[in-house]
Chain A
Amino acid sequence: MSGMAQEDGSSSISSSPLHLFSLMSLSPGIGSPYPWLREMESEERGLYLIHLLVACANHVAAGSIENANIGLEQINHLASADGDTMQRIAAYFTEALANRMLKGWPGLYKAINSTRITSVSDEMLVKRLFFDLCPFLRLSYIITNQAILESMEGEKMVHIIDLCSSEPAQWINLLQSLRSRPEGPPHLRITGIHQQKEVLEQMALRLNEEAEKLDIPFQFNPIVSRLDNLDIKCLRYKSGEALAISSVLQLHTLLAFDDEMAKKSPASKRVLHMNSQTLGDFLKKDVTSAFSPSPDSTSSSPFSLANSAKMMNFLNALWTLSPKLMVVTEQESNHNKFSLMDRVIEALIFYAALFDCLESTVPRASLERQKVEKMLFGEEIKNIIACEGIERRVRHEKLEKWVPRLELAGFGRVPLSYNGMLLATRLLQNYGYDGYKMKEENGCLVICWHNQPLFSISAWKFTRYS
């Protein structure tokens, strides 16, 4: 009878309330106890899910655990990690919200997460899957390499610092392009930074092999380190080398700071970290905003800039290397807002587009797609929503925030050439990536999915203060 109710949806339901109640005792995996929910068209279900998600997030933000709990349960009936896009998004967002709630009981949270296995090979696999399934990394590499090629024209010794060296494809592509340079390939040195030794070893192997094949004088220097405690001296800067820095989706991790500490120390102390030249600018700005309790990181107040002391230190250190070129690829979305609800909404919009991208190219049953969704996007969402302070390393920001930051650190903008844009659009066309667009904004390129900007690529060079 329950089957009838679910399939027909006709008015000839003879089931009693108790009967439907019995449906509820079914495990969620079998199906929603609300037959009409199952019949919902995906559109209404999607809209409903959005509504529920926002409501639940509100509860979590407000700290009302009970209501959040109910909300989560409601969403759980509809969400599914192997359903349609909105169902998947809802699944991961609720997981993130649940994690956030759970952090309210640190003992409970730690206990649940203590037996989690993190395997390097899994992480590498997921990164590789992301590279394969979505074109973003390829586009970024193509454009980065093109910018490097153009700026290194005529250079005999080229040194590249890769801030997150995990994908050999990027440099293999560069090696091949360098081979066909009219003046011949330069002497190339690549310094790869990564936290895991195995990844760097793999990179070294592949790159050395490729360079030998192409007969390019090549050196790979691995550095096992995190970005935030990177020792610049390790980079073994040699004068006479033309330096290029490639940062793909890495810089934002440096924005993570300890909220608690920042609140305690006065903002003025932090201002001293800034270059003296810009102090005057700071003083002109509204200093009172420095002490506002919930600074919106859209404003470039001393407080927000001061909190990115780690970032500024890092950028300044890079600046001392006087790089000829630095190409920065970042997610084009603001996931670093102070308030949780803001982050939730921004993340919803951003990850909806990303999930749509996957939906458009990969079948739903694909395990790889699920892995990317769960282990990459899901983890990012979890970090954005559930973590705070120094733990929250996924702090995406829009180009409009990166530009002043980089300019502050002494970098000047290098407009990305039209060739790069051309290559990128050609890649999209040739490999049939429909729906993706490349937009150009002030010399920076933005990869969009149907008008939703997703990733931004900008190029910079070392400038001296005039």
Chain B
Amino acid sequence: MTTELDNTSAVNESTVSGEASISSLGNQTAAPPEKPVKRKRNLAGMPDPDAEVIALSPKTLMATNRFVCEICNKGFQRDQNLQLHRRGHNLPWKLKQRTSKEIRKRVYVCPEPSCVHHDPSRALGDLTGIKKHFCRKHGEKKWKCDQCSKKYAVQSDWKAHLKICGTREYKCDCGTLFSRRDSFITHRAFCDALAVESAKGQAEDEPSKKDEDPKPLLIESAPQSTSTASPPPPPPPASLPPPPPTTTTPAVPVTSSVLCIAKTPDLPEISKSNNDSRPVLENPSQLVAGLTGSSSGSCSSTNTGSTSSSVFASLFASSTASKTLQPQPQPQTTGYKDLIRSMTQPTQTPDLTLPSSAQETISLCLSTNQGSSIFRTAGQELRQYAPPPQPTMSATALLQKAAQMGASASGASLLRGYGLDAGQRDDTDGGASIGLGLGVGYDGRSGLEELMMGTPSVYGPKHTTLDFLGLGMAAGGGTTNGLSALMTSIGGSLDVTAAVSSFGRGGRAGSGEFTGKDMGTQ
């Protein structure tokens, strides 16, 4: 439209540079008011070839005072304010006029060199637009949504988001939330595909897994939780061949993809270290199914997980810089695909919210201890299943049980609990002799004194029992408050049946020999 400037090509270098030099002074020349002429809107993405391309420096772009008085260089946010101010300078008539009346279409380029809009052919037509673009893409995100922790560099973006955050949500079956319908539909299609894929082709994953041990190593580490039935008599742990690290590699991605952590060498440790021998599962699919549930849960919780992960990232990342974690994401993804192929349909544990999200975050959260974190993942995977009857009772549970049992059982069973009954049962001599030794004034006492008497006299020489009677009183008197009840209850008998059964099993040799041994030692 304008003919004054030589704008035959879309890009006029001199114009650009000329304008840039003027503008880079930090001032934009007073723009002529554009109101009288209706603006012609360009096609999107294709600026007017006649338009004047303006490149502003970032500082200018973000400057709030765009209108600057040429006389005193005072900046104003609005053009009208500038005009008002200029009146005060008593300019001669000529200079009161604006410099040029022409309406030049101006397009702006992004000052960031790496940006696609830095090219004048991709300039944006609107100054406000380029400002927002610059902020959004190259600026720092200062505004944050409280609910979902999404950050924005442009305040209007942030306001717009606040309006819709949490308002519309689509939820996939796997539990992921979406605010946009299109992303929801895409995910859902993908999600179903995963489920379908996992239903077949579990077998095809098997050959890829193991070199020697036909059963996936994973099973060894996770059977506790998958023991839907009570574990069959466990083979001794030593019988499980310590799997070489190579064999664990296929298994590790399985674990890792569940929790997005891959630490190959530690897995054998885990299986070895767990003293409780476990049954070797016949059906790996069940195991993997459980993993599936968790992993699909984890993959779907991407959106939800990533929001708060930013808050936590610092807490997890700031531990020792473990650079070794970086290469992990690659094996994870491949392993994940393996897992997907081998997965049965995602069944249980919908309540899992393990985030595979932000795998970086997870890798961050691995921070220092590889061994511990990998076990945590393995441990988590163990715990993902329905609560199994743990082979090892937790210490807390043991204490509670001790307190309970002590309250119920009678005094005599205390000693029986220590294998003496086993001796009696087996009709060996040992039990009787021990029973005799301990039978002195034993029945009907408080648990505390049983405590005093019971234990030492099992092992110690008989004559000390009399000492204990006296000492037992003293010690019993020392405890004052209600917690001594716990002690007395603990001092009460242990579970007869359980103890006896085990003692009966293995104790026949020992109990019978007790006194002999004691005599031997004393």
B451: chain A residues within 8 A (beta carbon): 51, 54-55, 58
User: Is A266 interfacial (CB-CB < 8 Å)?
Assistant: no
User: A86 at the A/B interface (Cβ < 8 Å)?
Assistant: yes
Contact bitstring B76-115, A, C-beta under 8 A = 1, else 0: 0000000000000000000000000000000000000000
* Known A-B contacts A39-B505, A296-B481, A450-B396; A427 and B312 likewise in contact (beta carbons under 8 Å): yes
Identify the closest chain B residue to A360 (Cβ).
B379
Interface set, chain A 340-372, CB cutoff 8 A to B? 340-342, 345-346, 348-349, 352-353, 355-356, 359-369
- Chain A residue with minimal CB distance to B149? A180
Are A352 and B510 closer than 8 Å at their CB atoms? no
Cβ-defined partner of A85 (8 Å) among B270, B395, B519 = B395
A345 partner residues in chain B, CB cutoff 8 A: 483, 486-487
Decide if B314 touches A74 in the complex (CB within 8 Å).
Answer: no
Residues B312 and A434 in contact, CB atoms below 8 Å apart: no
Say yes or no: is A449 at the interface (Cβ < 8 Å to chain B): yes
Let me know if B314 and A172 touch, CB within 8 A.
yes
- Complex: A427 Cα to B471 Cα, angstroms: 51
Q: Which of A64-72, A156-164, A227-235, A458-466 lies on the face that meets chain B?
A: A64-72
Smallest CB–CB gap between A367 and chain B, Å? 8
The docked-state distance in angstroms from the alpha carbon of A355 to that of B394 is 9
Distance to closest chain B CB from A17 (angstroms): 3
B380-413, CB < 8 A from A: 380, 383, 391-396, 398-399, 401-402, 405
B57 CB–A CB distance under 8 Å: no
Interface contact A64-B479, CB-CB below 8 Å? no
CB distance from A105 to the nearest CB of B (A): 20
1/0 per residue, CB under 8 A from B, across A18-40: the answer is 10110010000000011111111
| Given A55-B491, A67-B464, A83-B275, also A21-B383 (CB < 8 A) | no
Known contacts A41-B502, A58-B451, A168-B318: A449-B274 contact under CB 8 Å: no
Q: Within the complex, which residue of B269, B471, B509, B519 is in contact with A5, where a contact is CB–CB below 8 Å?
A: B509
Partner of A361, one of B372, B452, B508, B509: B372
Contact indicator B494/A47 (Cβ below 8 Å): yes
Interface residues of B in 303-341 (CB under 8 A from A): 305, 308-309, 311-312, 314-316, 318-320
Residues of A within 8 A of B314 (CB): 169, 172-173, 175-176
Known: A42-B391, A67-B464. A86 touches B402 (CB 8 A): no
| Contact present for A355 and B517 (CB under 8 Å) | no
Asked, given contacts A85-B392, A431-B312, A431-B365, whether A11 binds B508 with beta carbons under 8 Å apart, the answer is yes
With A and B bound together, what is the CA distance between A85 and B495 in angstroms?
Answer: 20
**Across the interface, do A54 and B480 meet the contact criterion of CB distance under 8 Å?**
no
Q: Which residues of A contact B402 (CB under 8 A)?
A: 47, 50-51
CA distance A45 to B251 in the complex (A): 34
B355, B391, B419, B479: residue with the most chain A Cβ atoms closer than 10 Å: B479
The secondary-structure label for the interface of chain A is helix
Q: Chain B residues near A102 (CB, 8 Å)?
A: none
Stretch from B39-47, B129-137, B453-461 contacting the other chain:
B453-461
Q: How far is the CA of A55 from the CA of B502 in the complex (A)?
A: 22
A426: contacting residue among B151, B308, B354, B502, CB under 8 A: B308
Please tell me if A46 contacts chain B, counting CB pairs below 8 Å.
yes
Question: Which of B269, B405, B481, B510 has a CB less than 8 Å from the CB of A363?
Answer: B269
The answer to whether B513 touches A365 (Cβ under 8 A) is no
Q: Is B371 an interface residue (CB 8 A)?
A: yes
Query: Does B367 touch A at the CB level, under 8 Å?
Result: yes
Verify A361–B376 contact, CB threshold 8 A: yes
List residues of chain B with CB within 8 A of the CB of A365.
269, 272-273, 371
CA distance A360 to B391 in the complex (A): 13
* B359 nearest CB across to chain A (Å): 13
Cβ-defined partner of B142 (8 Å) among A62, A180, A450: A180
CA distance A49 to B511 in the complex (A): 18
B-side contacts of A211, CB under 8 Å: none
Closest residue of chain B to A341 (Cβ to Cβ) is B479
Majority DSSP secondary structure for residues of B touching A: helix
- Across the interface, A180 reaches (CB within 8 A) one of B144, B275, B375, namely B144
- Are B383 and A435 in touch, CB under 8 angstroms? yes
- The distance in angstroms between the C-alpha atoms of A223 and B351, with both chains bound, is 46
B395/A86 in contact, CB under 8 A? yes
Indicate if the CB atoms of A36 and B503 lie closer than 8 Å: yes
Tally of chain A residues near chain B (CB < 8 A) = 103
With A and B bound together, what is the CA distance between A342 and B499 in angstroms? 27
Interface residues of A in 88-106 (CB under 8 A from B): 89
CB of B214 to closest CB in A, whole Å: 24
Q: How long is the Cα–Cα vector from A432 to B517 in the complex, in angstroms?
A: 50
**In the complex, A83→B511 CA distance in Å?**
24
Contact (Cβ within 8 A) B398 A46: yes
The interface residues of chain B lying within 8 Å CB-to-CB of A64 are 467, 471, 475
User: Which of chain A's residues have a CB closer than 8 A to the CB of B151?
Assistant: 180
B383 and A360 contact, CB distance less than 8 A: yes
- The distance from the CB of A452 to the nearest CB of chain B, in whole angstroms, is 6
Q: Are the C-beta atoms of B510 and A20 separated by less than 8 Å? A: yes
Q: Are B396 and A20 in contact (CB under 8 A)?
A: no
Q: CB distance A35 to B510 under 8 Å?
A: yes
A450 to B494, CA, bound (A): 24
Within the assembled complex, what's the spacing in Å between the Cα atoms of A349 and B464? 31
**A423 at interface, CB cutoff 8 A:** yes
The answer to whether the Cβ of A276 comes within 8 Å of any Cβ in the partner chain is no
B507: interface (CB < 8 Å): yes
Is there a chain B Cβ closer than 8 Å to A84's Cβ? yes
Is A270 among interface residues, defined by CB-CB distance under 8 A? no
A231 to B484, CA, bound (A): 42
The reply to whether the CB of A9 lies closer than 8 angstroms to some CB of chain B is: yes
B375's partner among A86, A89, A361 (CB-CB below 8 A) is A361
- B53 interface residue (CB < 8 Å to A): no
Pairwise interchain contact A138-B315, C-beta atoms closer than 8 A: yes
**B275 near A141: Cβ-Cβ < 8 Å:** no
Residues of A within 8 A of B507 (CB): 9, 36, 39
B119 contacts the other chain (Cβ, under 8 Å)?
no
A-contact bits for B469-491, CB 8 A (1 contact / 0 none): 00100111011110110110011
Q: A-contacting residues of B (Cβ < 8 Å)?
A: 141-144, 151, 259, 266, 269-270, 272-276, 305, 308-309, 311-312, 314-316, 318-320, 353-355, 365, 367-369, 371-373, 375-380, 383, 391-396, 398-399, 401-402, 405, 418-419, 426, 448, 451-452, 454-456, 459-460, 464, 467-468, 471, 474-476, 478-481, 483-484, 486-487, 490-491, 494-495, 498-499, 502-503, 505-511, 513, 516-517, 519-521
Q: List 6 A-B contacts (CB under 8 A).
A: A43-B393, A59-B475, A61-B479, A362-B375, A365-B371, A368-B369
**New contact pairs (5) apart from A51-B491, A352-B396, A452-B396, CB-CB < 8 Å:** A42-B393, A44-B495, A46-B393, A352-B394, A365-B371
Q: Which 6 A-B pairs have the closest CB atoms?
A: A17-B516, A9-B506, A39-B506, A365-B273, A36-B507, A352-B395
